[in-house]
Amino acid sequence: MSTPSSAPTPALVEPTKKRGPDGRVQEVSVPAFAPPVLRGSLAEIPFDNAREAPSDAVLSRKDVEGAWWDVSAEEFAAEVLAVAKGLMAEGLRAGDRVAIMARTTYEWTLLDFAAWAAGLVTVPIYPTSSAFQARWILQDSGAVACAVETKEQGRLISQERRQLGDLAHLWQFDTGAIGHLKSLGKDIPDAAVAARRATLEPDSPATLIYTSGTTGRPKGCVLTHGNFFAEVDNAIELLHPVFKSVSKDPASTLLFLPLSHVFGRMVAIGCMRARVRLGHAPSIQTEDLLADLAGFRPTFLLAIPYVLEKVYNTGRATAEKMGRASSFDRAARIAQRYGKALEAAEHGTGPGPGLGLRAARALYDPLVYRRIRAALGGKVRYVICGGSPLGRRLASFYEGAGIGIFEGYGLTETTAAHTVTPPLKPRLGTVGWPLPGTSVRIADDGEVLLRGGQVFRGYWDTERAEPVPYLLDGDWFPTGDLGALDEDGYLTITGRKKDIIITSGGKNVTPAPLEDWLRAHPLVSQCMVVGDNRSYITALITLEPDGLHHWRQMVKKQDVPLRELVHDEELRTSLQKAVDEANRLVSRAESIRKFVVLPVDFTEEKGHLTPSLKLKRDAIARDFTAEIEGLYRR
């Protein structure tokens, strides 16, 4: 099996563009940077690493006292081998599906690679899944084994076992499941595992990842070993500064997004492939995560916009408490100007930051920007951001604060990123160019179509125990997203095809730009724009707890109950200013005329959000029918 090249990164290749009948760019393609993997599987990665660089630190684990300890390539391969033997000793056969329900932990990654080494297919289940969701995934995939992290998750699966005829094994990480498997497999010869690995090829299924979906039951996306190789090998070569650190600090990342999601899983595999030190942070509670970042000190991070919004808003709230809000706002404007000037220089459309702008940035670096970087661990130089649009405002702020943003776009069906911001040629506010080896096309109705080696084989057919192809002519995958390509081939996502609102006056409205803008406000947690078959656009707004706590302190309203506070004129005035700012993005017919502030938040537990924090619009509209109707009463 080939491994990523250690040669210098290839010169940036501009996409090949094709135009439609209207003269606009309709399709863009970028040639592959990495050769295709023609044999072998992801199961070989730990053993290749152990053979080629046995002492390299490929992972780090945190002990009970909070200290991080490195795990060498040789040590990890030995653990993978031992656990793979245990899986075989339990009677699991090649091709069997094994589910994993846990937070982002070392054991998750270990079991993932061990399962592959035993010739198995892994099936992630979100740790926050309900009993119904977990049962559906286990039934549909035909999983014969399931590993959970905690006793609560163990109970949840146990209560469903009568309806899970295929499920023969249930293991629990926090009661020693890994040690149990190692002990069981001690008499299995190494050659037996090698024989299982030898049966796998790039076209073999590696995992079934169930898309959460905004409606209906989730579908299992069949991703192959070759899909992951096409994804991570090209990403490693393209994002050379991230995965092959050019600074004095070896590349490393702390993963806190769920491994149940393809985004986190892809980066974990990419780190193992590139031998980048990987740590796991199971808790995303602010205090826990900040402590883990400070202890691990990663050089890059994988994040969704919510995390970057939270860091920015927390920084501003801290400055406001210290009486320095105006200073923070000036620093933010300077960082945004600096980031945009850098972008212009890289595209040859401007001279770059001038002497005065550089001096202003230097002045605010120790006062503001260094604090932002410190919140992310102090050494972070890059962030790979995806899941939803970050927006030009925050992207330029972080660039100006000294943190390069690589914004990407993709789906479970495309093994995570299909487009990404190219190094040294960012276009803030876009999701970049096609990843090397892929193509992007805009259909006549504006839908984004994708093609490339990381596009999945199809959705899982439980009766046939194989994928059912789901591609259009020429192997194009229809994403359901709406987008546009600019003259240089950069993709911008404008919304979801099925989320388009059509007012009673026939105006088509894409809610995403308004919702993304409002969510960036410190007081706003979630926002859903409403207006289908209505005469005007309205919005449901929920409050961000940390931002609200800070606002209460500033206006001395700590004791006002939330059910009364949502009607407070001072609060509504602050939110109206945010709505007015968002409305500047759109025409009058598309603008938000009224809004209601809800005394509860949209959460996954209440059925209002998917595990990847996307709005379940139908469920929200159903549960808040009275509030929506109230917005349209004269």
The Cα-based distances of 126 to 50, 143, 389, 474, 486 in angstroms read 31, 15, 23, 33, 37
Is the CB of residue 600 less than 8 Å from the CB of residue 542? Answer: yes
Mapping DSSP to helix (H, G, I), strand (E, B) and coil, where does residue 435 land?
coil
- What pLDDT shows up at residue 214? 40
519 pLDDT more than 70: yes
Within-domain flag for 542:
yes
| Greatest mean pLDDT among 53-62, 296-305, 404-413, 608-617 | 53-62
In a domain, 609, yes or no: yes
Q: Is the pLDDT of residue 190 over 80?
A: yes
Q: Is residue 196 part of a domain?
A: no
**Residues of the chain with pLDDT > 90: what percent?**
66
Q: Give how many domains the chain has, as a whole number.
A: 1
Q: What angle do CA 164, 94, 123 make, to 5 degrees?
A: 50
Identify the residue whose tokens are 């962030």.
Answer: 383
What is the per-residue pLDDT for 84? 98
Q: What's the pLDDT at 472?
A: 72
Q: What is the pLDDT of residue 155?
A: 96
Question: Which residue is associated with the tokens 């007015």?
Answer: 580
User: Any idea which of 105-114, 229-238, 401-410, 420-429 has the lowest mean pLDDT?
Assistant: 420-429
Predicted local confidence at residue 304, as pLDDT: 83
Q: Where in the sequence is the domain holding 512, given as residue range(s)?
A: 500-631
Inside any domain, residue 104: no
* Burial degree of 194 (CB within 10 A; 0-12, 13-18, 19+): middle
- Asked, for residue 143, whether it belongs to a domain, the answer is no
Residue bearing the bigger pLDDT, 518 or 505: 518
Confidence band, pLDDT 50/70/90 cuts, at residue 226: very high
| Cβ atoms of 418 and 410 closer than 8 Å | yes
What pLDDT was estimated at residue 1? Answer: 63
Residue 552 forms part of a structural domain: yes
What is the tens place of the pLDDT at every residue in 315-325? Answer: 888 888 888 88
- Tell which wins on pLDDT, 623 or 211: 623
pLDDT computed for residue 397 by the predictor? 95
Cα gap 209→222, rounded to integer Å: 7
pLDDT at 379 over 60: yes
Model confidence at 247: pLDDT above 80: no
At 448 the three-state DSSP class reads strand
Does 627 reside within a domain? yes
List, for residues 457-471, the tens digit of each pLDDT value.
899 988 777 777 777
pTM to 2 decimal places? 0.83
Q: Considering the domain boundaries, does residue 439 fall inside one?
A: no
pLDDT value, residue 244: 76
| pLDDT number for residue 67 | 93
Q: What is the pLDDT of residue 468?
A: 78
Q: How much is the average pLDDT of 141-152?
A: 97
- Quick one: tokens of 176? 């020693």
Return the pLDDT at 432: 93
**Nearest-angstrom CA–CA distance, 562 and 419:** 42
Residue count of the chain, please give it: 634
**Averaged confidence pLDDT in the chain:** 90
Question: Which pLDDT value is given to residue 115?
Answer: 98
pLDDT of residue 96: 97
> What is the per-residue pLDDT across 93-113, written as a single tens digit (0 to 9) for each?
999 999 999 999 999 999 999
Q: Identify the CATH number of the domain in which residue 607 sits.
A: 3.30.300.30
CB-CB neighbours of 9 under 10 Å: 17
Q: Who wins on pLDDT, 239 or 500?
A: 239
Of 568, 454, 324, 434, nearest to 36 by C-alpha is: 454
Burial 288-300 (b: 16+ CB within 10 A, else e): ebbebbebbbbbb
Strand partners, 501: 509
Among 50-59, 249-258, 340-349, 425-434, the range with the most confident prediction by mean pLDDT is 50-59
The pLDDT of residue 212: 60
411 has pLDDT over 70:
yes
User: Which position has the higher pLDDT, 79 or 8?
Assistant: 79
